[in-house]
Amino acid sequence: MIDAEDVGGVHIKYLYHCRRQLWLYVRGIRPEHLSATVQLGEAVHDASYTRNTPVDLEAARLDFIDGAHWVHEIKSSSRPSPADQAQGRHYCHRLRRVGIEAQGAVLHYPKTRRTQRFPYTPQAEAQAEADIAEVLAVATSPASPDRLARSACRGCSFTDYCWTE
């Protein structure tokens, strides 16, 4: 199973999006590569901000960090979500753990040409720690969490695992 150092951005994203999806992901069920939505997101990511270099933190990989230590994340969706903010917060937390004083996260939405900036505050740090603990709780649960309402699963690459009888 995973420990706190293994928790990455995808785990945090799935925690906010769907706990059942997180539970399946931790157990190695990863159908994302079959999803057209995921492929579109990767294309948007590859075509945006091409002059910047991704930063690999082993379990987490953030899009880039600027000279003022702001974490930048490129999102393929047009609408901001709590999962996006949590993912940026988690990357700031990981950077601070390796000694880089991350100032916060800047989320870029190329489809709508909008950005959102979230400073990394003591409250954000506490939430990041709580998120990691919650990921570990879901990961170690012997049974999968209940599935969401079917309408919430639209576009999810795990739909077949949850809704096939």
Q: Percentage helix, strand, coil, to 5, in the chain?
A: 50, 15, 40
pLDDT of residue 52: 81
User: Where does the pLDDT of residue 40 fall: very low under 50, low under 70, confident under 90, or very high at 90 and above?
Assistant: confident
What lies within 8 Å, CB to CB, of 109 at 6+ separation is 75, 77, 78, 79, 80, 115, 116
Quick one: tokens of 99?
């000694």
- Ranking 40-44, 66-70, 137-141, 146-150 by mean pLDDT, the lowest is 40-44
Percent of the chain with pLDDT over 70: 100
Residue type present at position 90: H
User: Where does the pLDDT of residue 39 fall: very low under 50, low under 70, confident under 90, or very high at 90 and above?
Assistant: confident
Name the 3-class secondary structure at 25: helix
Q: What is the average per-residue pLDDT within 22-31?
A: 90
pLDDT at 79 over 90: no
pLDDT of residue 42: 76
Beta-bridge partner residues of 71: 65, 105
Residue indicated by tokens 């809704």: 163
Task: Give ∠ CA 136-82-140 in degrees, rounded to 5.
Answer: 10
Sheet architecture: strand order including 64-65: 64-65, 70-74, 104-109, 114-119
Say how many CA atoms lie within 13 Å of 128 toward its Cβ: 26
Per residue in 82-118, pLDDT (tens digit) is 999 999 999 999 999 999 999 999 999 988 999 999 9
pLDDT at 165 over 80: no
pTM reported for the whole predicted model? 0.89
Residue indicated by tokens 């739909």: 159
CA neighbor of 106 nearest in space, from 163, 160, 63, 140: 63
pLDDT at 38 over 80: no
Q: What is the mean pLDDT of the chain?
A: 90
